[in-house]
């Protein structure tokens, strides 16, 4: 899908029609979606990642306290059945050892109170590594994997891990090398139904069918989940989107009663889901799990930059790049159009990628659009995100599982589309200590932490950009993100793996 279709634009229409819809495009483009980055003599955008940066990133993720190693989770002093069986898997991930570990994890989870179980380091380790393992298993052996390990399974596992988790040694994923498919799903639900409430990202497709492949795959694997995609808007604030979430839950309640709730959020959708949960104690009490994909729940410096650029431009259209905040001055100068005032040229260069004309914009048009959407942009800023956690963190339940998937660009040539060179650079320049990002959110801001840290299971860091794990080649144009960047990513498998792993612990009714 072309970006102009994504934004509802028709660049071949009359100027008047184009102008009324243009502010939406301007806001997206000002964040870098739709501008080719400045090129060096080879035609490639200048690199932000040096060899030393990649080496440092590898060291950071391998020592990440959010993903403790097995020896930390199960020290020699811990001798319960779960740690004992996990030691067997670490030594040799045979089907027998894997089966014993799965049974031990389910038994320990059943024996403990929910909050205590979700704070147990070994249960969290099992969930994290089992999700990674099921993701890889389904891509190598298929969504309906045979009971017996395929001949080339181990080689396929290593190849996928090198591609999608290149910052780690494949051998460190011991559970992923153990062949243990989940129990086969029934075609119809047998037992109590539960609900999965899905929140898409900040920009909605015209079809409003985001994550459709993910949803279909989960519905097949877990037939007792009633799945609803919330009708959120584009660049709408999280309070409004949370109200839409409550409406969707009310519709489910009318059909099935107050059934257990699970949430899946992508990007701003994570914030929308958290706001929905925190805004209603009855919803919070029914929430069993929250799966986050490329979370923006701590905001993004891209949104900070966007809001400040627009504020500057709308208040002073003739402003120069030297009046932009220091971190963005060189970026403004590098892509600005010298025929216009610098900041105006900065925006014009990006706007022309859609075939539009900057001169068609009037201050009143921009102001009118901003009046209706600025709260949505502001909700993505780091400042607004911090306020959410202060005001609402204590309202989030601690007896449900928070499962957080993270990704980062570790190879710009294979993972960074030229269209997002600008936001990637904005993020990279916003922190000298932790610049690594997925082109929309820095890595350090992708986990939830705060009041839910004790019950959060944080993934290892996958390679990829902000779109890779949620969107498909049909959602964006070739110019926005080349189709080869989407190849072989186990998107649907990733989400299915989360709910299968939860089902194995008894946290989701799999209807089996």
pLDDT in tens, 409-466: 999 999 999 888 888 988 998 898 999 999 999 999 999 999 999 999 999 999 999 9
What is the structure's pLDDT at 383?
A: 96
Q: Mean per-residue pLDDT for 92-109?
A: 97
What is the structure's pLDDT at 46?
A: 56
Same domain flag for 293 and 347: no
165 pLDDT tier (thresholds 50, 70, 90): very high
pLDDT, one tens digit per residue, over 463-502 is: 999 999 999 998 888 888 999 999 899 999 999 999 999 9
Among 57-71, 253-267, 328-342, 415-429, the range scoring the smallest mean pLDDT is 328-342
Tokens of 468: 């890779």
What is the structure's pLDDT at 315?
A: 76
CA dist 186 → 220, 223, 512 (Å): 8, 7, 6
Q: Mean per-residue pLDDT for 197-201?
A: 97
- DSSP 8-state class, residue 298: T
| Number of domains the chain contains | 3
What is the structure's pLDDT at 480?
A: 83
Give the residue, 481 or 170, on which the prediction is more confident. 170
Same domain flag for 144 and 205: no
Q: Does a structural domain hold residue 368?
A: no
Q: Mean per-residue pLDDT for 243-252?
A: 98
Same domain flag for 116 and 200: no
Place of tokens 């989870």: 109
Q: Does a structural domain hold residue 55?
A: no
Strands (E), 268-355: 287-293
Q: Quick check: pTM over 0.85?
A: yes
72: enclosing H helix or E strand: helix 70-73
Give the residue, 26 or 97, on which the prediction is more confident. 97
Same domain flag for 267 and 249: yes
What is the structure's pLDDT at 18?
A: 26
Same domain flag for 203 and 159: no
Same domain flag for 403 and 328: no
With a cut of 50, say whether residue 29 has pLDDT above it.
no
Give the residue, 373 or 140, on which the prediction is more confident. 140
pLDDT, one tens digit per residue, over 267-321 is: 999 999 999 999 999 999 999 999 999 999 999 998 888 778 777 777 776 777 7
With a cut of 80, say whether residue 217 has pLDDT above it.
yes
With a cut of 80, say whether residue 21 has pLDDT above it.
no
3-class SS of residue 19: helix
pLDDT, one tens digit per residue, over 312-337 is: 777 776 777 787 777 677 777 776 54
Among 25-29, 146-150, 378-382, 489-493, the range scoring the smallest mean pLDDT is 25-29
Q: What is the 3-state secondary structure (H, E, C) of 212-247?
A: HHHHHHHHHHCCCEEEEECCCCCCCCHHHHHHHHHH
Computed over every residue of the chain, the mean pLDDT equals: 84
Same domain flag for 283 and 392: yes
What is the structure's pLDDT at 352?
A: 36
3-class SS of residue 150: coil
Q: Mean per-residue pLDDT for 14-27?
A: 31
Query: Could you give phi then psi for residue 189, rounded to 5 degrees?
Result: -75, 135
**Residue 306 · residue 418 · CB < 8 Å:** no
Q: Mean per-residue pLDDT for 341-360?
A: 43
Same domain flag for 293 and 313: no
Q: Does a structural domain hold residue 38?
A: no
Q: Does a structural domain hold residue 183?
A: no
Same domain flag for 265 and 401: yes
Domain finish residue from 148, 177, 206: 177
What is the structure's pLDDT at 357?
A: 39
What is the structure's pLDDT at 303?
A: 85
Sheet holding 261-266, edge to edge: 225-229, 194-199, 261-266, 287-293, 401-408, 456-463
Q: Does a structural domain hold residue 438?
A: yes
Q: Does a structural domain hold residue 330?
A: yes
114 pLDDT tier (thresholds 50, 70, 90): confident
Question: How many angstroms from the chain centroid is the CA of residue 73?
Answer: 26
112 pLDDT tier (thresholds 50, 70, 90): very high
368 pLDDT tier (thresholds 50, 70, 90): low
Tokens of 422: 């600008």
Same domain flag for 344 and 277: no
341 pLDDT tier (thresholds 50, 70, 90): low
Domain finish residue from 150, 177, 204: 177
CATH code where residue 276 lies: 3.40.50.1820
Same domain flag for 279 and 404: yes
Among 88-97, 229-238, 460-469, the range scoring the smallest mean pLDDT is 229-238
Q: Does a structural domain hold residue 126?
A: yes
Share of the chain above pLDDT 90, in %: 65
Domain finish residue from 118, 152, 177: 177
Containing structural domain, residue 428: 194-297+381-504
With a cut of 80, say whether residue 386 has pLDDT above it.
yes
125 pLDDT tier (thresholds 50, 70, 90): very high
Same domain flag for 277 and 165: no
Nearest to 212, CA basis, from 393, 472, 437, 480: 472
Q: Does a structural domain hold residue 36?
A: no
Contacts of 219 (CB under 8 A, 6+ apart): 225, 227
406: enclosing H helix or E strand: strand 401-408
Among 45-49, 177-181, 197-201, the range scoring the smallest mean pLDDT is 45-49
């Amino acid at each position: 899908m072309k970006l102009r279709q994504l934004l509802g634009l028709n660049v071949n229409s009359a100027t008047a029609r184009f102008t009324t819809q243009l502010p939406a495009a301007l806001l997206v483009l000002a964040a870098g979606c739709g501008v080719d980055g400045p090129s060096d003599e080879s035609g490639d955008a200048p690199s932000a990642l040096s060899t030393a940066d990649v080496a440092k990133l590898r060291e950071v993720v391998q020592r990440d306290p959010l993903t403790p190693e097995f020896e930390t989770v199960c020290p020699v002093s811990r001798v319960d059945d779960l740690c004992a069986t996990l030691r067997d898997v670490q030594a040799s991930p045979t089907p027998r050892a894997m089966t014993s570990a799965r049974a031990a994890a389910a038994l320990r989870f059943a024996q403990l109170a929910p909050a205590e179980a979700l704070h147990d380091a070994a249960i969290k380790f099992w969930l994290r590594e089992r999700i990674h393992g099921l993701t890889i298993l389904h891509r190598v052996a298929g969504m309906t994997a045979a009971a017996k390990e395929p001949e080339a399974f181990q080689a396929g596992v290593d190849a996928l891990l090198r591609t999608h988790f290149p910052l780690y040694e494949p051998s460190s994923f011991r559970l992923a090398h153990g062949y243990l498919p989940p129990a086969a799903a029934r075609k119809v639900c047998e037992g109590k139904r539960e609900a999965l409430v899905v929140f898409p990202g900040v920009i909605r497709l015209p079809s409003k069918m985001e994550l459709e492949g993910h949803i279909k795959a989960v519905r097949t694997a877990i037939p007792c989940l009633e799945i609803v995609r919330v009708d959120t808007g584009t660049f709408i604030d999280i309070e409004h989107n949370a109200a839409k979430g409550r409406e969707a839950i009310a519709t489910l309640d009318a059909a099935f009663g107050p059934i257990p709730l699970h949430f899946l959020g992508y990007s701003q959708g994570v914030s929308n889901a958290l706001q929905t949960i925190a805004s209603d104690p009855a919803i919070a009490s029914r929430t069993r799990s929250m799966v986050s994909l490329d979370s923006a729940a701590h905001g993004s410096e891209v949104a900070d930059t966007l809001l400040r650029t627009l504020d500057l431009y709308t208040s002073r259209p003739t402003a120069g790049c030297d009046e932009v905040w220091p971190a963005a001055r060189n970026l403004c100068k590098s892509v600005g159009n010298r025929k216009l005032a610098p900041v105006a040229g900065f925006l014009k260069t990006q706007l022309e990628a859609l075939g539009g004309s900057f001169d068609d914009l009037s201050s009143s048009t921009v102001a009118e659009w901003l009046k209706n959407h600025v709260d949505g942009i502001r909700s993505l800023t780091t400042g607004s995100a911090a306020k959410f956690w202060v005001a609402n963190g204590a309202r989030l339940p601690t007896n449900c599982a928070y499962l957080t998937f993270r990704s980062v660009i570790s190879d710009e040539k294979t993972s960074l589309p030229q269209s997002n060179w600008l936001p990637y650079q904005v993020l990279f320049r916003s922190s000298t200590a932790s610049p690594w990002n997925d082109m929309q959110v820095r890595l350090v801001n992708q986990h939830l932490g705060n009041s839910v840290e004790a019950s959060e299971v944080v993934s290892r860091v996958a390679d990829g950009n902000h779109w890779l794990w949620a969107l498909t080649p049909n959602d964006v144009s070739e110019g926005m993100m080349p189709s080869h960047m989407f190849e072989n990513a186990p998107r649907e498998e990733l989400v299915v793996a989360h709910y299968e792993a939860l089902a194995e612990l008894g946290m989701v009714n799999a209807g089996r």
